[in-house]
Structure 1
């Protein structure tokens, strides 16, 4: 898809990485940020040293403090805000969109999480805040894709999902290049649920590493974690095959095994005995898995789905249970069948 202008909201690590990627392929890409120092860094030095200390961004990328300027005449808008900020960003965006943009623009979100207060998926939140836009055309991009590697042009493969085939294919054309391969999928629910829930299992994987429990425990956590993700996702309306793909097992593997994963790092510090408040203060960036654990705990109750790993992490994060005790409780659960567990 060749477009004249792409707007990216906001200039976090993932937004910056995608904006730089897009700027290599399209004539005008503008990223919006509320941070004046960040905007100056991007425009003057072609860097965003807040997130990428030594990486030079595409020279075609521009930044602005004005959302209105960023989206003016944009044919594609990438919503790269964290899940907690998505509703506010969309509320600010709504009065700025022209009738032509509401009818013809491509809107893609790249967040991985639920809205904490309502447990709603991001496409639902966006649709509520942009009611004049055809919700069926909304696109979600997800999959195993650390910003720290995409910004270095490491080979990466992701998936875009939409209820509208043409919108998904337009997003595929927009992003795909020599190092960023993009597949399409019609299962919006599955892609969003997989992208959100893998962060919980990533926390657990880091916690296991912090406890020095080894690879056997990590492999078990990832496998049974995928079963939990799939159970809840299917109850919410997802296609189970989606969880065997990039937004499921693919994203789960990269989140549970990489030093770049904020969720893994947070879990590792928890496993070493640090308090949650201390962990979050030290991270400096959003750890989506923490709030997602609370949302998933509520969703498991709502849909009557068994999610023992999520329950254990909920107890560690929000009820003061010691990580070693939570692992012991998981290992001591009543015997069950691997395939038929409910």
Structure 2
């Protein structure tokens, strides 16, 4: 059944998801707060700044008018940076007239509050103006989904029927969706893997090989699980698509901007310059601070996260940070 869906955010992932929804026969409107990508998508059927070389369906319509984007919608999909979630949600509430399912495919924690994205959305969008919030997350590069490369992710919601609704929206022969009820675990794994991806990139930039990368990913997963379980997540979630799956894809691919940022850090580049030239938000940088503070509050041991925090926020030399990490007191796995 065709559904009317508003996709908020014309970045690479938002555009790729919108493209997939259109290919599934849905009526999709892609919202941007800037007019330039709107004109390009509507007139040229491309979004070169984020998905270079990809032709978008002519049926995909873009708009910078929020009311127009969400008129009569069945679902609203948030794909904006974490720092913009709250403000965009406020804009949505001001013009929303239906009671849609709210979906988000963003990854991170809010600074200062350390709240997950679903918590922010539930705070800002009153229950009388929405159905449940569903999280869409897993090992997925926009560049690959956009060319119909095989991709699998998780739709998580405490109400399994709502998760199945989102599963049905996206499922096709190249995009497979699994359901899950552990929203906390899925969101935590999605956010924290970006920190480990920064470290994986730095390891590569420093010239270390596969042994080091495997060690970092394995021990990184242990840290993600420890913090997630301390927050109330199901430990099994972290061996699924939104845990180890997302960790693998983000820590091993040049498509990952977190990996690329870490790689440049390892090669000695200045962080401010890296972020300025990246062209897209590197969520792992802000997530590192939030996770470090959460770990302190919950008394969770996260040595890799603490090391990356020291490099990013305290200016510690990357090589010295790795040396100190390796020379910590020996312990049991």
Deviation at 1:135? 7.9
Q: Secondary structure at the match of 1:314?
A: helix
Aligned to 2:218: 223
Instruction: Calculate the TM-score normalised by the size of structure 2.
Output: 0.98
Q: Which residue of 256, 269, 281 maps to 2:276?
A: 281
* Alpha-carbon distance change, 199 to 133 in structure 1, aligned in 2, over 3 angstroms: farther
Aligned to 2:63: 64
Deviation at 1:28? 1.3
Aligned to 1:19: 18
Deviation at 1:133? 4.5
Residue 252 of structure 2 corresponds to residue 257 of structure 1: yes
User: Equivalences for 1:147-186 in 2 at 5 Å?
Assistant: 147-186=142-181
Counterpart Cα distance in 2 of 1:297 and 1:136: 33
Which segment is superposed worse, 29-38 or 226-235? 29-38
Residue 135 of structure 2 corresponds to residue 140 of structure 1: yes
Aligned to 2:325: 330
CA contact (8 A) 2:310 2:316 kept: yes
The root-mean-square deviation of aligned C-alpha atoms, in Å, is: 1.1
Deviation at 1:21? 0.6
CA contact (8 A) 1:312 1:326 kept: yes
Q: Secondary structure at the match of 2:76?
A: strand
* Alpha-carbon distance change, 293 to 136 in structure 1, aligned in 2, over 3 angstroms: farther
Aligned to 2:28: 29
Counterpart Cα distance in 1 of 2:129 and 2:45: 35
Cα deviation code 1:257-289 (max 9, x no counterpart): 001000000000000011110110110110000
Q: Secondary structure at the match of 2:332?
A: coil
Unaligned runs of 5+ in 2: none
Deviation at 1:5? 1.0
CA contact (8 A) 1:123 1:135 kept: no
Instruction: Calculate the TM-score normalised by the size of structure 1.
Output: 0.96
Deviation at 1:96? 1.3
User: Equivalences for 1:1-342 in 2 at 5 Å?
Assistant: 2-98=1-97, 101-102=98-99, 105-133=100-128, 137-338=132-333
Unaligned runs of 5+ in 1: none
Counterpart Cα distance in 2 of 1:279 and 1:117: 24
Cα deviation code 1:203-260 (max 9, x no counterpart): 0000000000111011000000000000000010100000000000000000000010
Cα deviation code 1:279-324 (max 9, x no counterpart): 1011011000000000000000111100000000000000010000
Q: Secondary structure at the match of 1:73?
A: coil
CA contact (8 A) 1:3 1:76 kept: no
Counterpart Cα distance in 2 of 1:140 and 1:27: 19
Counterpart Cα distance in 1 of 2:120 and 2:160: 21
Counterpart Cα distance in 2 of 1:118 and 1:26: 39
Counterpart Cα distance in 1 of 2:130 and 2:63: 27
